[in-house]
Amino acid sequence: MLEIGDQAPSFALQNQHGNTVTLEDFEGEHLIVYFYPRANTEGCTVQACSFRDARPTLEAANVSVVGVSDDPVSDLASFAEEYDLTFDLLSDEDGAVASAYDSYGEKQMFGNTFDGVFRNTYVVGPDGNIVAVFEGVSPDGHAEDVLAALE
């Protein structure tokens, strides 16, 4: 895992609208970078909606959010539309960015082994360094946990 004080790995990924979003786009503000396994699944929906619902508080604190998964852009677009997600969902289909954030690797489910995204969250400070780390998070109430750490 990356640690507090580490430089956040740079990224340039397409969002749900097909636009490229970079870490540098958020220079000078706090950025929550959360990794989630799959759009439109129960836990990922709960997690995304918790960040959506926290938007007024996040905006007041000048904190932005991006969600990163290995879903294709088209899946992210339908997910964002269905749940009125107004922050960027980023497509990392090859898992390169998730790997750079120690959030991608071998997983097991129902007796099958596969590569996938781990549910981790990092808060990047205005200077581009990691200021908070959440590993293996529970989707329910996660946005509140992140907000509490920012206070």
Q: Which domains does the chain have, with CATH numbers?
A: 12-150 (3.40.30.10)
Q: Could you give the residue ranges of the DSSP H alpha helices within the chain? A: 42-53, 55-60, 73-83, 96-100, 142-150
Q: Bridge partners of 108?
A: 113
Closest CA to 90 of 54, 52, 145, 36: 36
- pTM score: 0.95
Distance of alpha carbon 46 from alpha carbon 68, whole angstroms = 15
**Do 79 and 39 contact (CB within 8 A), yes or no?**
yes
Distance of alpha carbon 74 from alpha carbon 94, whole angstroms = 15
Each residue's pLDDT expressed in tens, for the chain with a length of 151 residues: 899 999 999 999 999 999 999 999 999 999 999 999 999 999 999 999 999 999 999 999 999 999 999 999 999 999 999 999 999 999 999 999 999 999 998 888 788 887 889 999 999 999 999 999 999 999 998 999 999 988 8
Out of 2, 44, 66, 68, pick the active-site residue.
Answer: 44
Active site annotation includes 49: no
